[in-house]
Structure 1
Amino acid sequence: MMTKIKANRNIFIGFGIILLFILISFTYFSPQLEGKQLDAHDLSTFRGGAKELSDHRAETGEEALWTNSMFGGMPSFLLSTKYPGNLIAKVQSAIEVVPRPARYLILMFSLFFVLTLLLKVNLWVSAVGAIAYGMFSFFFVIIDSGHMTKAHTLTYMALVVGGVLLAYKRNAFWGSLLAAFSLSWMLSANHPQMTYYAGIMVIIIGLTYLVAAIKEKTLPAFLKASALLVVAALLAVGTNFSRLSTTYEYGKYSMRGESELTPQDDNQTSGLDKSYILDYSYDLGEAMTAFIPRFKGGGMAEPLGEESEVYQFFAKNQGKAQARQISQNLPLYWGTQPISSAPFYYGAVLCFLFVLGLFVLKGKDKWWIVAVVVVSFLLSLGKNLGFLSHFMVDYFPFYNKFRDVKNIIVIQQFAMALMGVLAVKEIYLNRENQKELLNKLKYSWFIVGGLALVFALLPGLAGDFRTPSDLRLVQAGWPEQLMEALRADRRMVLRTDAFKTFLFVSIAAGVIWLYLKQKIKATYALLIWALLIFVDLWPVNKRYLNNDDFVAARKAEVPFTPSVADQEILKDKSLEYRVLNLSVSPFNDASTSYFHHSIGGYHGAKMKRYQELIEFEISPEIQTLGSRLQQVSTQADMDAVFDGLGVLNMLNTKYVIYNPKAAPLFNAQALGNAWFVKDIKLVQNADEEIAALEGFDPTAEAIVDERFSDAISLVSFSPGNQPVIELKEYQPNYLKYEATVGEGTPLAVFSEIYYPKGWNAYLDGQLVEHVRANYVLRAMPVPQGIHEIEFKFEPQSYVIGNRISLASSLILILALLAVGFVEIKKKTKNEEETSGEA
């Protein structure tokens, strides 16, 4: 009876703690209570790139799976696609009534809380540990950038690990089911890189428990749990098979795939280039930002105010108003990354408790945590530990598909937070070993507090506070005196933050000392820790994500306003054409995609061949166009600006936005939706294919790889023939043309991006083969007569994938019901036996 009362009491407290998490989340994101939404760069670009897909879904209720709104055309699998076969993902819709990003912070707190409860940690210790974990500044920085899929994926990491540990520690069936469901949700959140890093952590856990099982002679139990976990992983993958299969299929043709061009050096891999993968790497100093937030200055637009040396310089030379404006956005960052918006700070208390855990924690959980911290730290160094990073890129499966390798610190922070919670649990359970614990506490304080104090007193040990990017400031006219003031401010923020870290560590250590000396109750100790976490992390996070980042819902949902040029272009009711916007960075812009079909766009996984076309042909042609426009003095000059720009013309670049406040430039030489050529130039490989685009005339010839020679063997050209082709119907995933051919079988070239895994061509309703032409476009022979030509996007990976996802979802649901039935039956039997004995 007493056990049941205690259990009910704990359930009541647990729900109360969840309500506390909700309160904290909405307090931080208080503008959401006013109906406002986050105004983040990547959210706006997502809405821009997905506009055509969203409109098609709203109008037809169907998924387009392809968009022509950016980069000439690309699959939507990594942009905005719904997968109806995944029934497990639909469970998440129950919590979607809570708006994001508050929803994600609630999940971060709550699911880490569940993990620690599975490890039998005290409710209140679990609550404080969850707060320390959830307030990780990385989480707030990525939300500020609009990386919502990354944030969403991270929320499930704790539950995945909880399932794995439960399977190994107590109940293989329930643990495996929890792992299956949580991994399924994590995969459906759709950030493969974060899931990949979580997978590395799970592998480390498995290897650690394997070694322990061999030592403890419990290998059969380990193998049983591992087998069930493998089945759980397969079911989780199966529920997401539709998403994963389409992503994997497209990945081969995206920037993450291998190029067909001959590598110029060892920088190229079967995925991304090594320099691109490792560009954003930590150095040893930057890793210290986990402990001292502005060890490397912070971000590239740090607010300081009137206490800064830069403020004093400008106040003296240009007045207080100018000084106040500049000192709110100081380029304090002096690390080795190309850019940094903010440091990834774990919290002083968390770092201290992690070190304390190294002393007080024993057993396999300690060692897998240590291994995760070490491995993630070494991999986060990227190019600064080149031999390891190059080994991983070259030999570790799929590692070369992801960039920004420092992001692996998410599993480091997770492991350190868990170590801290387990350390507090250990202290609570071992109060009788007071002398030993006090010594370990002293050593931890000396290490962590002493390190912070050293940098507080001697900040120059961190470096000279210079960075190569300072050259841009010098070039912008900053005198040496001002640069010295900037370096002084960098030194000042390091010293200030180091003193704060020392203070927080000392208070946290003092609270444990008071508890061990029985001068303070555990409840008060936990309250002080929670207060320390908030006082420490809340201001740091608010520096980078605050109320100013929220705007009215209407502005967030409609992020772009059409310019004068946009409005003029929108008057053109032609079925399809493309726009080049030179008033922005064309290939880092989604505003154009919001209104038009764009030559450019914004996406990290554009098609590989299109990226190569940008590098080899489109960018040079844009430079030529820009130079010509600067020299225009007559109408004849204007009419000639598009001469010889074969690639832009074949991409049907009908309009160019040069000045958004004026009418766009009209390109009369754009070739339209489709045309017939007079000749074919066969080439042997991709190198010859892209080289042949230099200065070619797309109206006269088509460049075709010889691997397609059989498909165009029936092509014949008649000198007197003037075939005609016209686009009659357009949808993102469907195109219908009417072609009239008088003689022969000429080759029609379509100004549409070639993608072999889904686009099917039909001639008068019959499936026919089409080929790739001009490196990225489609082409097909058209026989004599009047014909209807259709292109339909019908990727079988999506169709079959959804069937497998549905089947896997049903199996997983049935497994849950079966295990639940067996457990209930077992419990009923035990209760009957107990009742009979009584």
Structure 2
Amino acid sequence: MSLIKRFIPHFFVILGFIIASLAYFSPVLNGKMLYQNDIKHYESMVKQQNEYRAETGEETYWNNSAFGGMPTYQLGAKFPHDYMDKLDRLIRFLPRPADYLFLYLVSFYILMLVMRIPWKIAILGALAFGFSAYLIIIIGVGHNSKAHAIAYFPLVLSGILLVFQKRYIWGFLLTALAMGLEIQANHYQMTYYLGLLALVMGATFFIDAIKKKEIPHFFKSVGVLIVAVLLGLATNATTLLSTSEYVNTSIRGKNLLAESTASTSEKNGLDYEYITEYSYGKLESLNLFVPKLMGLGRASDLGSDSAFYQKLIELGEPRDKANYYAKVTGLYWGEQPLVEAPPYLGITVVFLALLGLLLISGRLRWWLLAGILLSLTLSWGKNLEFLTRFFIDYVPFYNKFRAVSSIQVLLELLVPIAAVFGVYNIFNDKIPFAERQKKFLISLGTFGGLCLLFWLFGGSLFSFKSSSEIQLGIEQPMIFDAIKADRITIMKSDSLRSLLFVLLVGGVIWGMLKKKLSENMALVALGLLIIVDLVGVDRRSVNNEGFISKREYKNLFQATSVDKEIQKDTSYFRVLDLARGFNNSHMNYFFNSVGGYSAVRPRKMQDLFYEHIQKDTVKIINKKKVNVKWMNPEVVNMLNIKYVVQQNEKRQLDVQQNPSINGPAWFVYELKPVANHKEEFEALKTINTKKEAVLNVRFTRLSKMRTSYVPQTNFKVDSLANISLVQHKPNQLIYKSNSKEKGFAVFSEVYYKNGWNAYIDGNSSPIIPVNYTLRGLQIPKGKHTIEFKFEPQVVKIGSTITLASSIIFVLLLIGGLFYQYKKTGNVVPLSQDDK
């Protein structure tokens, strides 16, 4: 009976989290959906494989509609024996996106209990973490996998801490389970950042172990955690192995065209400028506790009541032009090219966090402080170049990820932890009253003083200038002064807002210290202040207005008149969308396309697009430099691009048919050998792709069967020779060929060495990469049936490992429960004595 009583508070806490999650995203109760732009793109990208699954009941691991063709490993592929996925869906039982908010809250609450925080105070931490502005913003824009991965951060830390608390069995099981769920969320950048935090924790724990002479316990704990992590990884073996296989061909892999002078990072990962494009400004860090200090995100509109708008009207600008400038100029004046909204941590939470860091001691203080500093300084990116360059050049895998500001997710986790300990210790009578009062006054003075300073003197402290005014040509002093006035107004408004919250939180704590408020009253008051503070900012960017009906959502994928025109053609072809650009997924929903929307797009197709399909060049026309787009028709033809969509003179969508396409497959007269990938890429500018193909001889040198791959480079092509596509599925293509001479055929399909197999009349035949990105095949003379099948061995191997590791985990879990029961008479890992 006592066991049930112990769980009653937790039951009602979880029930409260369900209610809070549904209340914030209340339109889901009416069947509405949150419009998430990234998810709209994703739906377009995966439509082909979803349709195939629905029609056949089978899974295709190749998607032919995106980037000319790519594996589905990072496009929602469903793998055999993926039991972590099933468990995760069971945990996230609420309608999306309330499920992610619920997961934030529950996961952090568990962490607080593991850290031996009373459940009432643990609730405050869960609210501070779950409603942190950045975590809500990423849900709003559709970064679901990112939100998903972050939500399991606290659970992974819970397992690690249990092990170091010498609860080895439960720590092992929870770490293995949490890591399995973390990897299943499928956002490796977030998991990588969690790994950096784990290393920081490990370093502080090691130093602490030396001081306390507990080195054996430290290494025992590390050993237990390594095995647990490996088990968690093994339960996702298919996902990890397939991703590892594919990443080398994506933009995160080796740059095949990098110059010899390029840095190691640029040769083996993303280039420096791309990685640091979204670098958080040092000064911008202040909006972690004053949200509008640097304006709002991209959704902000200065409006017709702004000083800027009125100044434009005063200067004689037409109202429509003034309205346009008011919308595009915006209030944001930070250093990033674009932000959705400020990553506000909450002045209430930051206030309590500083209090916590001042009141706690030992290894907890140091790993929290080190993690916070690491997260903040790395988020500055190119604004702290020496540190960023060091991590890019020397820290493994750091150069695989872009948007360095994303590492602030560690701040979102660590600051609420520190805040919880601030509340816990301010109530702790074991700490002398004088010390608690002193640390409280330091926190109050720090943030109260800063907010007061910004409110009173902020207008003269900052420049309030951004690059957008220069780009729009409205940097004239009078106009900029008007923009500056608007930015000062909202900065002062939120500075005052933050100051009021500091005073309110300070008043609650002061009342508790002076015994004017009971602990329960103080906790309720602090909880309400945290909710009002965070939700008030959250609702500025993610609110009920972002929800649409399911019917409206379906209408987002309606075919345009241009799409309908192309759909009349039932042959096999690709579409090039120059109007929307390379990184847009509209065409993927309806047709096979060479573009798409993915953070792991294939590098070779990106290379072709920006250098051969839509390259920005400068021409001299009438003695003036003019920016023009250059297109290599041979590359367009070899990719079987039959339709090109672009804007006409009236800025309306228009479609043109390409009459010169090479078709799905064709025989060539000659193979042109080149020495490396760069020469292969450059040769595409000069060859006739209908008659010639470029062969990288490096491929033949890597093969032990060199002579069987390319016995000759010149071929006879009789006038009646033909090869035609007779059947196509995403993972299977069948051709018929007829030729009087032995020949070499090029297929307008992306070459991917791991998984695609070719068969001529049922007999295996080697696929030869040609033209930088396509497949080639030697065809015997006569009539033949040629079949390409995508048969990835990585899925079979990974699924076997996944199944075996899942069985091992279940057996260990049962064994752990049995051991706990035999030892204590119940299966609950925590006891009152643990407190």
Q: Mark yes or no: TM-score above 0.5.
A: yes
Distance (Å, rounded) in 1 between the aligned partners of 2:715 and 2:180: 55
What secondary structure, in the 3-state scheme, does the structure 2 residue paired with 1:656 have? strand
Deviates more, 1:731-740 or 1:355-364: 355-364
Residues 1:250 and 2:246 are matched in the alignment: yes
Distance (Å, rounded) in 1 between the aligned partners of 2:213 and 2:83: 40
Structure 1 residue 427, shift from structure 2 partner: 2.0
1:828 to 802, 820, 825: 825
Structure 1 residue 88, shift from structure 2 partner: 2.6
Give 1:296's aligned residue: 294
Residues 1:725 and 2:723 are matched in the alignment: yes
2:549 to 549, 552, 565: 552
1:610 to 601, 605, 614: 605
Paired residue type of 2:288: A
Give 1:523's aligned residue: 520
Give 1:482's aligned residue: 479
Q: Unpaired segments of 5 or more residues in structure 2?
A: 620-628, 701-705, 829-835
1:652 to 632, 640, 643: 640
What secondary structure, in the 3-state scheme, does the structure 2 residue paired with 1:730 have? strand
Residues 1:396 and 2:395 are matched in the alignment: yes
Residues 1:769 and 2:760 are matched in the alignment: no
Distance (Å, rounded) in 1 between the aligned partners of 2:633 and 2:771: 14
1:275 to 273, 276, 280: 273
Where in structure 2 are the equivalents of 1:62-77 lying within 5 Å? 62-77=58-73
Paired residue type of 1:169: Q
Distance (Å, rounded) in 1 between the aligned partners of 2:352 and 2:678: 57
Deviation per CA, 1:449-504, whole angstroms, max 9, x where unpaired?
11221112111465211112221232xx6864333211111112211111211211
Distance (Å, rounded) in 1 between the aligned partners of 2:696 and 2:286: 52
On the 8 A contact 1:764/1:787 being kept in 2, the answer is yes
Residues 1:537 and 2:556 are matched in the alignment: no
Structure 1 residue 307, shift from structure 2 partner: 5.9
Give 1:349's aligned residue: 348
Distance (Å, rounded) in 2 between the aligned partners of 1:466 and 1:322: 21
Give 1:819's aligned residue: 816
Structure 1 residue 228, shift from structure 2 partner: 1.0
On the 8 A contact 2:425/2:431 being kept in 1, the answer is no
Give 2:94's aligned residue: 98
Q: Unpaired segments of 5 or more residues in structure 1?
A: 625-640, 832-838
Structure 1 residue 102, shift from structure 2 partner: 0.6
Paired residue type of 1:268: E
Paired residue type of 1:645: P
List structure 1 segments (4+ residues) > 4 angstroms apart after TM superposition.
303-307, 314-330, 477-480, 621-624, 641-644, 659-663
On the 8 A contact 1:455/1:461 being kept in 2, the answer is no
What secondary structure, in the 3-state scheme, does the structure 2 residue paired with 1:356 have? helix
Give 1:684's aligned residue: 675
On the 8 A contact 1:645/1:695 being kept in 2, the answer is no
Deviation per CA, 1:34-90, whole angstroms, max 9, x where unpaired?
111011110110011111111111111222111111211111111121122232331
Change (3 A) 1:829 1:327: closer
Give 1:442's aligned residue: 441
1:135 to 126, 131, 138: 131
Structure 1 residue 199, shift from structure 2 partner: 1.1
Distance (Å, rounded) in 1 between the aligned partners of 2:724 and 2:545: 50
Deviation per CA, 1:484-535, whole angstroms, max 9, x where unpaired?
2111111122111112112111211221111011100111111111221122
On the 8 A contact 2:616/2:630 being kept in 1, the answer is no
Structure 1 residue 265, shift from structure 2 partner: 3.6
On the 8 A contact 2:687/2:693 being kept in 1, the answer is no
Distance (Å, rounded) in 1 between the aligned partners of 2:717 and 2:425: 88
Structure 1 residue 559, shift from structure 2 partner: 2.8
Distance (Å, rounded) in 2 between the aligned partners of 1:670 and 1:556: 36
On the 8 A contact 2:613/2:632 being kept in 1, the answer is no
Deviation per CA, 1:727-750, whole angstroms, max 9, x where unpaired?
11111111111111212x211000
What secondary structure, in the 3-state scheme, does the structure 2 residue paired with 1:469 have? helix
Distance (Å, rounded) in 2 between the aligned partners of 1:440 and 1:493: 31
Deviation per CA, 1:156-178, whole angstroms, max 9, x where unpaired?
00111111111111411101211
Deviates more, 1:555-564 or 1:155-164: 555-564
Structure 1 residue 301, shift from structure 2 partner: 3.0
On the 8 A contact 2:454/2:495 being kept in 1, the answer is yes
Give 2:432's aligned residue: 433
Distance (Å, rounded) in 1 between the aligned partners of 2:11 and 2:67: 49
Give 1:706's aligned residue: 697
On the 8 A contact 2:615/2:631 being kept in 1, the answer is no
Change (3 A) 1:43 1:557: farther
What secondary structure, in the 3-state scheme, does the structure 1 residue paired with 2:126 have? helix
Paired residue type of 1:774: N
Give 1:409's aligned residue: 408
Deviation per CA, 1:631-670, whole angstroms, max 9, x where unpaired?
xxxxxxxxxx999710001101111223597773221111
Give 2:159's aligned residue: 163
Structure 1 residue 716, shift from structure 2 partner: 5.3
Change (3 A) 1:28 1:760: same
On the 8 A contact 1:712/1:780 being kept in 2, the answer is no
Paired residue type of 1:336: E
Paired residue type of 1:581: D
Distance (Å, rounded) in 2 between the aligned partners of 1:91 and 1:61: 22
Give 1:387's aligned residue: 386
Where in structure 2 are the equivalents of 1:770-785 lying within 5 Å? 770-785=767-782
What secondary structure, in the 3-state scheme, does the structure 2 residue paired with 1:654 have? strand
On the 8 A contact 2:329/2:468 being kept in 1, the answer is no
Percent identity between matched residues is 38
Distance (Å, rounded) in 1 between the aligned partners of 2:593 and 2:827: 67
Paired residue type of 1:543: R
Distance (Å, rounded) in 1 between the aligned partners of 2:13 and 2:298: 37
1:665 to 656, 671, 674: 656
2:192 to 193, 196, 202: 196
Change (3 A) 1:441 1:665: same
Structure 1 residue 551, shift from structure 2 partner: 0.8
- TM-score, length-scaled by structure 1: 0.92
On the 8 A contact 1:68/1:597 being kept in 2, the answer is yes
Give 2:788's aligned residue: 791
Distance (Å, rounded) in 2 between the aligned partners of 1:167 and 1:488: 55
Distance (Å, rounded) in 2 between the aligned partners of 1:644 and 1:288: 48
